[in-house]
Amino acid sequence: MKKILSIISFIFLISSDSLALIEVDITRGNLDPLPIAVSPLHVDIKSEDFKGLKIKDLGMNISEIIEKNFRSTGLFNPLKKEAFVQKPDIAHLKPRFEDWRLIKAQALVTGKLLIKDEKLKVEFRLWDLTAAQEMTALAFTTTPSNWRRVAHIISDKIYERLTGEDGYFDTRIIYVAESGPKNERVKKLAIMDQDGFNTKYLTLGNELVLTPRFNPTNQMVTYMSYFRNMPRVYLLDIETGTQEVVGNFPGMTFAPRFSPDGKKIIMSFAKDGNSDIFTMDLETRVVERITEHSSIDTSPSFSPDGKFIAFNSDRSGLQQIYVMRSDGSNVKRITFGKGIYGTPVWSPRGDLIAFTKMHKGRFYIGVMRTDGKGERLLTENYYQEAPSWSPNGRVLVFYRETKAGEKGEGFSAKLWSIDITGYNERKLSTKTDASDPSWSSLLSK
Amino acid sequence: MTLKTNLKNIVLVIFTTLILSACSTAKKSGDIDGDVYTGKETVEYLASGVPDRVFFATNKSSLTTSSRATLRKQATFLRKNKNLNVTIEGHADERGTREYNLALGERRANAARDYLMTYGISGKRISVISYGKEKPVNPKSSPISWSQNRRSVTVKVN
Amino acid sequence: MIRSLVYSLTFHTVMIILTVLSLPFMLREPIDLPPIVSVELIQISDKTNIPYAPKARKIIEETKKKEERIVSEQAPPAAKAKEKPDRIPLPNELKEEKKIVKKKQNPEEIKPQIRQSSEFEKKEIVDTSQIAALIDKAKEVEAVKKKESDKITQSSKKNSFATGLTLSEEDALRAQIFGCWSVPLGLPYDQDLLVRIKLNLKKDGTIMKSEILDHERMNRPGQKFYKVLAESALRAVRLCQPLKVPPTGYDKWKNIQLNFNPTEMLKG
């Protein structure tokens, strides 16, 4: 009754406010990527030389990185520069909006840069061309060798302004670089910028290394190594290169991940053929048992609030995904679909769990809600697994292997990414074959 | 007993054997029984007549009859060579997630170890390591090579 | 014979070198990763909405100096961060990062207010208290509408008694705007995505005034997507003008409300 009254009063208000106001519902639009023009950044003529940098090209290079980032999202359509109508410096002062609208751009990025006293100064503006307004503008100062990161940070700021979500360009991906024949693979830890540049190797390849994962501040990595033929979980400080075994377990430890506060490592420990989940506090070194079951419990992943843990277990006979409280209580199976499920990873937003599914000889990467409902399979292939979330929870990176022939020929392992919408599947560029990716959080946050 | 009934019985026996073997050949294709590799192609020997490895079904770590026979031979061999220690390597095929496969390899190696121990070999002489899907013996992507890769291998340490 | 000797020799040297090199388990030396960029966030927009003069650099310098003051005016800074713009030695990086975060928060908090005034200051601001009171009810009305639309084709019913546009006139207008509206991708499906825009039109269909009815929602926390959505709707209207309006009956359609809602499309 109350409802009806309020609705009636609402209608009354509307009609008294504006008599017979015409209302038209717009329920459709186009889902084409937003056309955006990224003008080359103007290079200030007063710029001084800096070793190893082609300053003249820097403005163009930064704009091209931004364009590449945008194109990779599938949400933007960076327009061809040949059609650009204004010089970078003039456009940056005040664009002739009509002219830019002519080439069908809806947004415009302009900027300029100056290198002076060994410092790179970059500023950029984002313009809404239809409203003829500036949407955002920022300036940065940094060391010139950081120019690629500047391009990524600018991309993040624009992405954030145009989509309402955080960006994910100023990030790195740690992964396992692979080389050699399939039955004698050499594996090294490698780290690269999200766009495939600045690859650095963190181990030499003398021993097998697997499943590296970042901590929340991106300074530390936990991974598994077969150093001295003892498969154990290790901790590596990226800046100093120091590494150490995590815990003194009398057997194999594997499948490590950090807790969301970075203080603990959660992992599996295998003893007498049985794998259970444990945590170790990095400061106090206190080890805590989380699961105790005669089945295989592995691939644990914390929820972002640290209150829950998702993992996979074959306690029902085949591998399925379970969720429990972080103390190990209240274990609930959440996957009941056909096929077997593994590698659950909680999204940074906390609302979804990404997973690998195997069914009838095919492998899928998918997402589901944390209660297991609303399963959406994003991609299907011969073999793929190990999804890792972009920091804004919009994109998953995973690795995919191809079929091998008689002698292992035709085999490859590559990193791929896909939006959680299931669109925009892309192969990441890596210098070598690659597997086990882990996406960092935003470096500049 | 006449010759006739005898003949009748023989025919019956032959007939039933045929039916039974038809049943089992339906499951058998080449060197795979069910899902378990039964061939000799990748097998090496700890000593003459002592195979070094046993094979498993997909996602399983249970020992088959022929696996048990192989392990009994290994046990006999180890009893004869009292100073010899071994490592049992557990492996999985490439058709599973990496982390689960590590656990599965561990479980398979331990299944073999437990069996050796029931035949009197001290657990101290047998260490265990799992390689998951990391060290396939046959790199091909085919059911046969996967079955060859689902294995536990007993390796001499000293 | 010599060949195999050479082979053996090279092999052994390689092995020795490898062993020597690989003795340390890991690369011990610090890995040379580019340092964290120290970010100076300068809100150029709030200073220079006016056409940008060639002395821009000076202005930026000034802005930079004023930045701290601005920040403290708008929201008392949690920490008075004085950063060196240079790259700083690695061990300090963490601390530096934290500083940046703190500092950054302030401009970010201010941003919505600034944005709002720059985009909407010239527009008549609706009586927000009234709107706020209506927001919840609007949802209920929406629900009722949806039920209706199950029975009768979307929105044509409303048209038949409430407005002065004929069906074909309304369809023409709608089709025109469909074409102009780039729906932002990545919207949350489970949220209310209705954006109501009120337009005052000239006789030729160009826009005199446009106004987002629920615009205060744009600055609510967790509703960033709504701002993006509302902006996309505004862009669509502006891109489309002059709107396809009937040649007659100006008084009936000079004020018109467009209800943008991509929910159906995103789900479908």
Is A132 found in the same domain as A223?
no
Nearest CA in chain A to B126: A272
- Report d(CA A299, CA A323) in Å as an integer: 12
Q: What is the pLDDT of residue B15?
A: 59
Check CB contact under 8 Å for C26 and A217: no
Is B56 found in the same domain as B7?
no
A107 sits in which H/E element? strand A107-116
DSSP per-residue string spanning A365-389: EEEEETTS-S-EEEEEESEEEEEEE
Q: What pLDDT, in 10s, does the model give residues B8-30?
A: 666 655 655 555 554 444 444 57
CATH number, residue A39 = 3.40.50.10070
What strand order describes the sheet that includes A186-193?
A200-201, A186-193, A172-179, A433-439
Q: What pLDDT, in 10s, does the model give residues A350-368?
A: 999 999 999 999 999 999 9
Q: What pLDDT, in 10s, does the model give residues A83-125?
A: 898 999 999 988 999 999 999 899 999 999 999 998 999 999 9
DSSP per-residue string spanning C3-62: HHHHHHHHHHHHHHHHHHHHSSSB--SPP-PPPPPPP----GGGT--SPPPTTHHHHHHH
Region of poorest pLDDT, from C2-11, C62-71, C82-91, C191-200: C82-91
Is B4 found in the same domain as B71?
no
Is C135 found in the same domain as C50?
no
Is B112 found in the same domain as B131?
yes
- Of B102, B100, B97, B111, give the one whose Cα is nearest residue B56: B111
End-to-end CA distance of chain C: 76
Check CB contact under 8 Å for A404 and B107: no
- Identify which of A27, A164, A219 has the shortest CB distance to residue C264: A27
Q: Within a domain: residue A241?
A: yes
Is C200 found in the same domain as C252?
yes
Q: Within a domain: residue C155?
A: yes
Domain count for chain C, please give it: 2
Nearest CA in chain B to A255: B99
| HEC assignment per residue over A71-83 | HHHCCEEECCHHH
Check CB contact under 8 Å for B99 and A274: no
Q: What pLDDT, in 10s, does the model give residues C227-260?
A: 889 999 998 998 888 888 888 888 888 899 999 9
Strands (E), A164-231: 172-179, 186-193, 200-201, 209-214, 220-225
Is A182 found in the same domain as A147?
no
Is B82 found in the same domain as B12?
no
Is A420 found in the same domain as A337?
yes
Where is pLDDT greater, at A438 or C124? A438
Check CB contact under 8 Å for A342 and B99: yes
Question: Which residues in B lie closer than 8 A to residue A298 (C-beta atoms)?
Answer: 99-100, 102-103
Domain count for chain B, please give it: 2
- Report d(CA C219, CA C235) in Å as an integer: 18
SS3 state at A110: strand
Q: Percentage of residues in chain B with pLDDT exceeding 70?
A: 81
- Report d(CA A144, CA A51) in Å as an integer: 9
Is B18 found in the same domain as B47?
no
Among the three residues A163, A194, A213, which one is the final residue of a domain in this structure? A163
SS3 state at C233: helix
**Looking at this predicted complex, what is its ipTM?**
0.91
Check CB contact under 8 Å for C60 and A139: yes
Sign of the C-alpha dihedral computed for residues C139, C142, C144 and C146 taken in this order: negative
Region of poorest pLDDT, from A71-75, A296-300, B106-110, C76-80: C76-80
Is C164 found in the same domain as C147?
yes
Is A340 found in the same domain as A230?
yes
- State the nearest Cα–Cα gap between A159 and chain B, in angstroms: 34
Confidence of residue C169 (pLDDT cuts 50, 70, 90): confident
- Report d(CA B63, CA A318) in Å as an integer: 18
- Report d(CA A282, CA A150) in Å as an integer: 34
What strand order describes the sheet that includes A264-271?
A253-258, A264-271, A274-281, A287-289
Q: What residues are paired with A140 via a beta bridge?
A: A122
Is A232 found in the same domain as A191?
yes
Check CB contact under 8 Å for B140 and A406: yes
Is B6 found in the same domain as B81?
no
Kindly give the residue spans of alpha helices, DSSP state H, lying in A18-127: 55-73, 88-93, 97-102
Region of poorest pLDDT, from A12-26, A342-356, C169-183: A12-26
Q: Within a domain: residue A260?
A: no
Question: Which residues in B lie closer than 8 A to residue A314 (C-beta atoms)?
Answer: 59, 100
Is C144 found in the same domain as C34?
no
- State the nearest Cα–Cα gap between C237 and chain A, in angstroms: 9
Is A189 found in the same domain as A42?
no
- Report d(CA A148, CA C83) in Å as an integer: 21
- Report d(CA A114, CA A50) in Å as an integer: 11
Is A189 found in the same domain as A78?
no
CATH number, residue B51 = 3.30.1330.60
Which subunits count as partners of chain B given 3+ CB pairs below 8 Å?
Answer: A
Is B126 found in the same domain as B60?
yes
SS3 state at B71: helix
Q: Does A227 touch chain B (CB under 8 A)?
A: no
Is C134 found in the same domain as C246?
yes
Question: Which residues in A lie closer than 8 A to residue C107 (C-beta atoms)?
Answer: none
Interface test with B, best of A183, A227, A360 (most B CBs within 10 A): A183
Q: Within a domain: residue A110?
A: yes
Residues of B with CB under 8 A from a CB of A: 59, 61, 94-100, 102-104, 106-111, 114, 129-131, 134-141
Interface test with C, best of A22, A79, A230 (most C CBs within 10 A): A22
Among the three residues C120, C150, C168, which one is the final residue of a domain in this structure? C120
Confidence of residue C59 (pLDDT cuts 50, 70, 90): very low
Check CB contact under 8 Å for B103 and A185: no
Rounded to 5 degrees, what angle do the CA atoms C231, C237, C241 make? 145
Q: What pLDDT, in 10s, does the model give residues A364-414?
A: 999 999 999 999 999 999 999 999 999 999 999 999 999 999 999 999 999
Is A338 found in the same domain as A356?
yes
Q: Within a domain: residue C13?
A: no
Check CB contact under 8 Å for A200 and C234: no
Check CB contact under 8 Å for B134 and A229: no
Is B63 found in the same domain as B25?
no
Confidence of residue B3 (pLDDT cuts 50, 70, 90): low
Check CB contact under 8 Å for A403 and B141: yes
Domain count for chain A, please give it: 2
Among the three residues C68, C100, C120, which one is the final residue of a domain in this structure? C120
- State the nearest Cα–Cα gap between A217 and chain C, in angstroms: 9
Is A236 found in the same domain as A152?
no
Q: What is the pLDDT of residue B29?
A: 55
Check CB contact under 8 Å for A404 and B140: yes
Check CB contact under 8 Å for A314 and B96: no
pLDDT, average across residues C96-101: 38
Question: Which residues in C lie closer than 8 A to residue A139 (C-beta atoms)?
Answer: 40-42, 44, 60, 64
Rounded to 5 degrees, what angle do the CA atoms A10, A14, A15 make? 115
Is C214 found in the same domain as C105?
no
Check CB contact under 8 Å for B97 and A254: no
CATH number, residue A363 = 2.120.10.30
Confidence of residue A50 (pLDDT cuts 50, 70, 90): confident
Q: Within a domain: residue A221?
A: yes
Question: Which residues in B lie closer than 8 A to residue A273 (C-beta atoms)?
Answer: 61, 106-111, 114
- Report d(CA A298, CA A275) in Å as an integer: 7
Query: Is the pLDDT at B90 greater than 70, yes or no?
Result: yes
Query: Is the pLDDT at C77 greater than 50, yes or no?
Result: no
Is B81 found in the same domain as B50?
yes
CATH number, residue C168 = 3.30.1150.10
Is C174 found in the same domain as C136?
yes
Nearest CA in chain C to A160: C224
Is C238 found in the same domain as C165?
yes
- Of B131, B128, B92, B94, give the one whose Cα is nearest residue B112: B128
Which subunits count as partners of chain C given 3+ CB pairs below 8 Å?
Answer: A
Q: Within a domain: residue A27?
A: no
Is B40 found in the same domain as B23?
no
Domain that holds residue B9: 1-30
Is A152 found in the same domain as A54?
yes
Check CB contact under 8 Å for A252 and B129: yes
On whether the CB atoms of residues A391 and A173 are closer than 8 A, the answer is: no
Check CB contact under 8 Å for C184 and A34: yes
Residue numbers of A between 251 and 270 with CB closer than 8 Å to B: 252, 254-255, 268, 270
Interface test with A, best of B59, B62, B100 (most A CBs within 10 A): B100
- Identify which of A131, A136, A145 has the shortest CB distance to residue C34: A145
Domain that holds residue C98: 30-120
Is C148 found in the same domain as C64?
no
Among the three residues C72, C90, C120, which one is the final residue of a domain in this structure? C120
pTM of the predicted model as reported, rounded to 2 decimal places? 0.77
Is C116 found in the same domain as C133?
no
- State the nearest Cα–Cα gap between C73 and chain A, in angstroms: 19
Is A399 found in the same domain as A354?
yes
- State the nearest Cα–Cα gap between C81 and chain A, in angstroms: 15
Q: Within a domain: residue C12?
A: no
Interface test with A, best of C18, C21, C32, C39 (most A CBs within 10 A): C39
Q: Within a domain: residue C60?
A: yes
Domain that holds residue A96: 34-163
pLDDT, average across residues B2-10: 64
Region of poorest pLDDT, from A296-300, A409-413, C6-10: C6-10
Q: What is the pLDDT of residue C224?
A: 82
Is B111 found in the same domain as B65?
yes
Check CB contact under 8 Å for A241 and C264: no
Nearest CA in chain A to C198: A23
Question: Which residues in B lie closer than 8 A to residue A182 (C-beta atoms)?
Answer: 136, 139
Q: Within a domain: residue C218?
A: yes
Q: What's CA C22's distance to the chain center, in Å?
A: 50
> What Cα–Cα distance (Å) separates residue A366 from each residue in A43, A105, B32?
45, 35, 33
Percentages of chain C per state (helix, strand, coil), in multiples of 5: 55, 10, 35
Q: How many CB pairs under 8 A join A and B?
A: 104
